[in-house]
Amino acid sequence: MNEIEKSIWKLVLQIPRGRVSTYGDIASALGNIGYSRLVGKIMSTNPEPITVPCHRVVYSDGRVGWYLGLGHGSVTKIALLEKEGVDINEGRIVNFEKYRFKDFNLDA
């Protein structure tokens, strides 16, 4: 577990209920959009899916994306998001506001 991973988990934990963020957004928060792929890769190795709400991380175009090993457009992920108040229609998130990370220190 390196610093970047820890930072990612922290950021994801900051996302409040009913709000979502994107892989690219998290990458940007880390200081480099290029980390987007890495973010996804690390999500796939999510050590604690219970404590880390990785279901609140979606694609930038509104598609839900993956959740655990359930694959793309996972109904479980969609169900969780809807349950938290996120509007989803036809597998797409409707009128979603990306959560804006703030007061985040890279060396934290």
Partner DNA sequence: CGATTGACCGCTA
Partner DNA sequence: TTAGCGGCCAATC
Inter-residue contact 63 to 92 (CB < 8 Å): yes
* Cβ closest to DNA, residue 18 vs residue 52: 52
x/- mask, DNA, residues 47-86, rule CB under 7 A, reads: --x----x--x-xxx---xxxx------------------
> Strand 92-93 to strand 57-58: parallel, antiparallel, or no bridges (unpaired)?
unpaired
Respond yes or no: is residue 39 known to be catalytic: no
Q: Shortest CA distance to 58 belongs to which of 33, 84, 23?
A: 23
Of these, 33, 75, 79, 106, which contacts DNA (CB under 7 A)? 33
- Cβ 31 to DNA shortest distance, Å: 9
b/e per residue 65-89 (b: at least 16 CB within 10 A): bbbeeeeeebeebbebbeeeebebe
Residues that bind DNA (CB under 7 A): 2, 4, 22-25, 27, 32-41, 43-44, 46, 49, 54, 57, 59-61, 65-68
